[in-house]
């Protein structure tokens, strides 16, 4: 298993199109995906050939909005590590305005074992 340390950080940038919005504004799905991808980006730089991770908890407070054509930037910082469970603090911004923050957890798994378990179901 690769070694991870608290404080490691990565980002995900989305150029927002009309598809990222519904009748009430920026979709929660888009926001959560951006935060999850930022967390994934922290981990993937240290993956070995059979490493993968799965999201196991999303707890993100979303109070702002964005506009089509703007950029959504999500940032993830490792805040806690418990063996294969990694907890991230996540932040999302549209331009310079913070529009969401919270925590996301991922579990490190063997990619081959995970795919085998899916096929068994």
Domain assignment present for 1: no
Calculate the CA 33 to chain-centre distance: 6
CATH of the domain at 65: 3.10.129.10
Q: What integer pLDDT is reported at residue 121 of this predicted model?
A: 65
Domain assignment present for 69: yes
Integer Cα distance of 96 and 33 in angstroms: 19
Encode the chain (121 residues) as per-residue pLDDT tens digits. 678 999 999 999 999 999 999 999 999 999 999 999 999 999 999 998 999 999 999 999 999 999 999 999 999 999 999 999 999 999 999 999 999 999 999 999 999 998 888 887 6
Q: What integer pLDDT is reported at residue 119 of this predicted model?
A: 83
Domain assignment present for 109: yes
Q: What integer pLDDT is reported at residue 2 of this predicted model?
A: 76
Q: What integer pLDDT is reported at residue 114 of this predicted model?
A: 84
Domain assignment present for 49: yes
What's the CA dihedral at 54, 59, 64, 69 to 10 degrees?
0
Q: What integer pLDDT is reported at residue 40 of this predicted model?
A: 96
Domain assignment present for 3: no
Domain assignment present for 2: no
Number of domains in the chain: 1
- From the list 92, 64, 97, the residue with the least C-alpha distance to 76 is 92
Domain assignment present for 4: no
Give the domain range for residue 45: 9-120
């Amino acid at each position: 298993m690769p070694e991870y340390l608290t404080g490691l950080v990565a980002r995900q940038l989305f150029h927002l199109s009309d598809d990222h919005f519904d009748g009430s504004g920026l979709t929660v799905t888009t926001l959560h995906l951006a935060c999850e991808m930022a967390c994934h980006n922290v981990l993937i730089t240290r993956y070995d050939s059979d490493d993968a991770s799965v999201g196991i908890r999303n707890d993100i407070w979303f109070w702002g909005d964005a506009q089509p054509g703007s950029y959504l930037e999500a940032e993830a910082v490792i805040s806690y590590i418990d063996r294969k469970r990694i907890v991230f603090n996540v932040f999302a911004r549209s331009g310079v305005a913070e529009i969401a923050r919270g925590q996301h957890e991922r579990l490190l798994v063997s990619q081959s074992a995970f795919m085998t378990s899916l096929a068994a179901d």
